[in-house]
Structure formats: structure tokens, C-alpha cells
Amino acid sequence: MGVFPVTSENGGVTCIRDAAWAIVWEPETDTHVYRRNIDVAFSADGIIHVGPGYAGPVDEEIPGQDVFVIPGLVDVHSHPHLEPSYKGIREEHGVPEQFMTGLYERGQAFHVAEDGRKAGAEVAYSELLASGVTSLADLSSPFDGWIDLMAKSGLRGFLGAGYASARWYMSNRHQLQFDWNEQGGRQGMEHAIAVMKAAEAHPSGRLSGVVYPAQIDTCTEDLLRDSADLALESGRPVTTHAAQSAVEFNIMVDRHGKTPIQFARDIGFLGANTLLGHAIFIDEHSWLHWHSKEDLKALVDSKTSVAHCPTPFSRYGQTLQDLGRYLRAGVNIGIGTDVSPHNLIEEMRTAAILARVTAEDIDTVHTSDLFHAATIGGANALLRDDIGRLWPGKKADIVLVDLADVTMMPARDPLRSLVYTAAERAVRDVYVDGRKVVEDRKVLTLDRRDAALRLAEAQARMIAAVPEHDYLGRTADEVTPLSLPIK
């Protein structure tokens, strides 16, 4: 299959000997295939060997008879600092007057403090590692210690420090309003540049930056143009939320007479290094009844990638229509975790099911499409060709799935068993850069329980403060009632 030469810098070599199943990259087609009964050898410097009969040096040998080896998953869109604090709050929260989304009302009412953001990030990083994610695009509001925490987690981090020219606010349930501060947006961009440079200079060597103007409707045209230019000049990806709600779609039409995607195209924001968060409400979406049919072509022609995060939108009764259409058109798709739980395997499952329901066609997407998006598609969106692929010379970001776990048995088709049944329950060991970060289902780099306890305390304070922030002075229970009454 291929061998990457071992040098003196490779350090200790680990070999998974005679792995029962593996998902291996094929360079000629840039796709994945199954391989059976092969050796996978790797070190801190990368993957050394993928194939039968590895005869090189070995410092640790892992029996592979019950092992399914896959490349580490690539999560292209996540807000770990925020979403875990919404557990028990956002699952059924939506505003019918805003086309069912609860994004804007929740954002104005619930404000988690910085210690809660840090605890939330630790909880989310732990969930991600435990479900086989090795690379993460973390789109967050920076907090003290963010870079060091990401490095400590062991993840390969793509840090996007968010900035914007405006913030959302509400004075009634049916209108979204904007408090503009263009100077604040510029200052935020300068701070984001400093954060990206600090991440890229971190001694771990696993951190890099993503240019992240937060939303297409909260940034001025100039700020978006300058963000796109910065990304091109620096060789970084650029991302923003666009076409994420019907509310946003209508606001952009009111402002510019064109859809969010067409606006982004016309100002030069789309491109091969651009990753759009969601791109659900394009002009062909059935909820919009819009006259044009240009948005999908604009994405394809510009080689723009889309971060597909199905779970949060499905909770509002919304879905991208349909994923198979985007893929057949030629859009590069990555998968993200835009809500708790941060579980990319479950997102793959949800994406497949919703696509088939929307299309009324079981063949609109296949499991292989979703795994491609969660690995190669995500890597391509982040401008990386050395992750998301099990092949000599690529980064040693590797996941060992336990075929002996009852949730994987029988494993006639182990990828289907993993995606549709087992999920994180069968993820046994995870390596990033050849370093073990999950062992026998336990995250080694972070204290998940301690972080969860600190998050619970921060959430309690956030809930108590809701009447101070909500435009109607409501309590948290009035904004988003409990699922059952307390009697």
C-alpha cells in the first residue's frame, strides 16, 4: 500500500498489527476504501505504513483482530464555548414568528460568563475526542487561556476568533434588530488576527487560525471584503454564517435586493478557501418561494465549501434540501457539531436520514458520502491535504474502533455499524499526531467531570440572570419551559 520512511525524528513507532478492518485513502481518486487484515504503523511524525507485512521498527504493537482503524474525523464548525451551556435550554426552544429559529431570542436572553465558556469548551472538547474527532474548527468568542486549553486537549485546532460590526437584539418576537458598531468590528478583527498569530506560534505545532467574521448579516460589506482579502493573503480559510435562517435571508434581501449567497458572491467573499456555515436557506429552499435559482451554482462555480450541521436545525423543524443535491452539484461538504452533544458520528447519521426524508429517496446520499464529508471534505474545506486520510505521509490522527463492542456486532459493514448504531460507544482509542489522547474510551488530556461540574454552576448563574437580559424581563422557564411541569 505504501511506506513513509522512518527518520531519527520519528520517535516511538506504534503498529496496529493485522487490523481486521481499516478505511484507507486512495490517492488516485481522493476517496476511501475498505482494507482488511493490514498493518498500520505510525509515529509522532506521521503515518509510516498502511498495508500488509510492516517489517520496520516497532516500539508498541497493538493486536488488530478486533480493531477497525479509521482516520481521525474533521469537525469544520463548532462553538464549544457556548453550546454546552444551553443543554436543557435549546433542544425545544424556537420562535414561530421567526420561522421557528430560537437563535436570536436565546442569544439575547442567555449570557454565560467567561468561566462558563471555558468549562463548556472543556466539556465539548472531551465529547469530540471521545467520538473520534481529531481536528476541530473552533469558532468562539475568545476567553483567557483558550489557546492553551485547545493545545492541552490534544486536538488539532483551527481557531476562529469571532468578530462583527453589529450585535442582534429584539424588542418584540417578530423582528430582529441590529446595534451597529463598525469601529468595534474593526477592533475585533485586529484582536482576531492577534489570536490567530498566537495560535500559529504555539509550541504544540497543532494550532492554526481561521478568519471568522461572525455572520453575514452582522458584518459590513467592507469588513467582509477585508476578511476575505486577509484570508487569501495569509493562506488561511475564511468562514462565516450565511443562509442560516429565513430571517437572515429576508433581512439580506431587504438590504441588498439579493440572497445572502448572491451578496457574498458579488462582493468577492466566496472562493476555494471560503467555508460557509450552514447555507441551508438558499434561493431554492421551499420555505422561501424565491424567484431565482442561482445560489447552488454560485457555490459550485466559486468552489466554496459548506459546513453542514443538521442537528440544531432539525430541532427547529428545518433541514437543508437536500444534501444529495448539493453533493451531486459539486459542492464540497464538511460536517460540523453546532450543538450539544458534540458528536460528529451522530451528525453523520442525522445528515443521512434528513437528506433521504427531504428527497424522498434512499439513494440521495450514502454512508460513504457522509464519511467523506466528515474526513476528506472537512480537510479540504480547511485547506489541508494531510488530515482526514489514512495513508503514509499523512498526519497520525487515527481512531481505533472496538469491533468486539456489542454495539458494533455483527460488523458485516463496520462503517454502517459505527454510524447507525454504535457511535461514540465503540470508539476505543484516539491518537493525534501519534499521541494517544483517548484510551479505552477515557479522555486522557482533560477532566471531563470536573468541567461538567463547573459548567453546571455557570449555567445556574446564567439562568438566574435571564430576566436582566430578556427584552420582556422573562425568567428562563418562561423563555424555554421545562419539558414537564414541576408539581
Kindly report the CATH number assigned to the domain that includes residue 183: 3.20.20.140
Residues 228, 102 within the same domain = yes
Residues 427, 314 within the same domain = no
C-alpha 477/C-alpha 452 separation (Å) is 22
Q: Which residue has the cell 450565511?
A: 242
Residue 275: its pLDDT value, please?
A: 98
Residues 410, 323 within the same domain = no
Residues 95, 66 within the same domain = no
Residues 365, 423 within the same domain = no
Is 274 within the bounds of a domain?
A: yes
Q: For 335-348, write each residue's pLDDT tens digit.
A: 999 999 999 999 99
- Is the distance from CB of 470 to CB of 108 less than 8 angstroms? yes
440: exposed, middle or buried (Cβ count in 10 Å: 0-12, 13-18, 19+): exposed
Identify the domain boundary among 381, 401, 421.
381
Residue 4: its pLDDT value, please?
A: 41
C-alpha 458/C-alpha 112 separation (Å) is 7
In 169-308, which residue ranges form alpha helices assigned H by DSSP?
Answer: 182-200, 221-234, 246-256, 260-266, 295-302
Give me the number of domains the chain comprises.
2
Is 223 within the bounds of a domain?
A: yes
Residues 93, 23 within the same domain = no
Is 135 within the bounds of a domain?
A: yes
Which candidate, 270, 332, 277, 286, places its Cα nearest to that of 307?
277
Q: For 386-416, write each residue's pLDDT tens digit.
A: 999 999 999 999 999 999 999 999 999 999 9
Residues 77, 151 within the same domain = yes
C-alpha 443/C-alpha 440 separation (Å) is 9
Residue 1: its pLDDT value, please?
A: 43
A 10 A CB-CB count for 294 gives 17
Residues 48, 103 within the same domain = no
Residue 11: its pLDDT value, please?
A: 63
Is 479 within the bounds of a domain?
A: no
Identify the domain boundary among 361, 381, 401.
381
Identify the domain boundary among 421, 441, 461.
441
Kindly report the CATH number assigned to the domain that includes residue 434: 2.30.40.10
Is 355 within the bounds of a domain?
A: yes
Domain range for 22: 8-71+391-441
Instruction: Put residue 18 in one of left, alpha, beta given phi > 0 → left and psi -120 to 50 → alpha.
Output: left
Its pTM surpasses 0.95: yes
Residues 162, 242 within the same domain = yes
C-alpha 91/C-alpha 298 separation (Å) is 33
C-alpha 124/C-alpha 341 separation (Å) is 8
Is 472 within the bounds of a domain?
A: no
CA dihedral sign of residues 100, 104, 108, 112: positive
Length of the chain in residues, anyone?
A: 487
Which candidate, 90, 108, 92, places its Cα nearest to that of 472?
108
Per-residue pLDDT of the chain (487 residues; tens, 9 = 90+): 444 444 334 469 999 999 999 999 999 999 999 999 999 999 999 999 999 999 999 999 999 999 999 999 999 999 999 999 999 999 999 999 999 999 999 999 999 999 999 999 999 999 999 999 999 999 999 999 999 999 999 999 999 999 999 999 999 999 999 999 999 999 999 999 999 999 999 999 999 999 999 999 999 999 999 999 999 999 999 999 999 999 999 999 999 999 999 999 999 999 999 999 999 999 999 999 999 999 999 999 999 999 999 999 999 999 999 999 999 999 999 999 999 999 999 999 999 999 999 999 999 999 999 999 999 999 999 999 999 999 999 999 999 999 999 999 999 999 999 999 999 999 999 999 999 999 999 999 999 999 999 999 999 999 999 999 999 999 999 999 999 999 9
C-alpha 130/C-alpha 126 separation (Å) is 6
* Cα three-residue angle 284-318-352, rounded to 5 degrees: 90
A 10 A CB-CB count for 208 gives 20
Residues 398, 345 within the same domain = no
Q: What is the largest CA-CA distance in the chain?
A: 70
Q: Which residue has the cell 443538521?
A: 310
Residue 8: its pLDDT value, please?
A: 33
Residues 55, 88 within the same domain = no
Residues 86, 153 within the same domain = yes
Is 386 within the bounds of a domain?
A: no
Q: Which residues of 382-392 are buried (b: 16+ CB within 10 A; e: fewer)?
A: bbbeebbbbbb
C-alpha 189/C-alpha 207 separation (Å) is 19
460: exposed, middle or buried (Cβ count in 10 Å: 0-12, 13-18, 19+): exposed
Residue 335: its pLDDT value, please?
A: 98
Above pLDDT 70, what percent of the chain?
98
Q: How far is CA 426 from the centre of its chain?
A: 21
Which candidate, 239, 108, 235, places its Cα nearest to that of 168?
108
C-alpha 269/C-alpha 240 separation (Å) is 10
C-alpha separations of 72 from 27, 371, 389, 401, 431 in Å: 17, 11, 8, 11, 8
Which candidate, 478, 377, 399, 376, places its Cα nearest to that of 134?
399
Residue 9: its pLDDT value, please?
A: 43
Is 460 within the bounds of a domain?
A: no
Residue 7: its pLDDT value, please?
A: 39
CA dihedral sign of residues 401, 128, 13, 49: positive
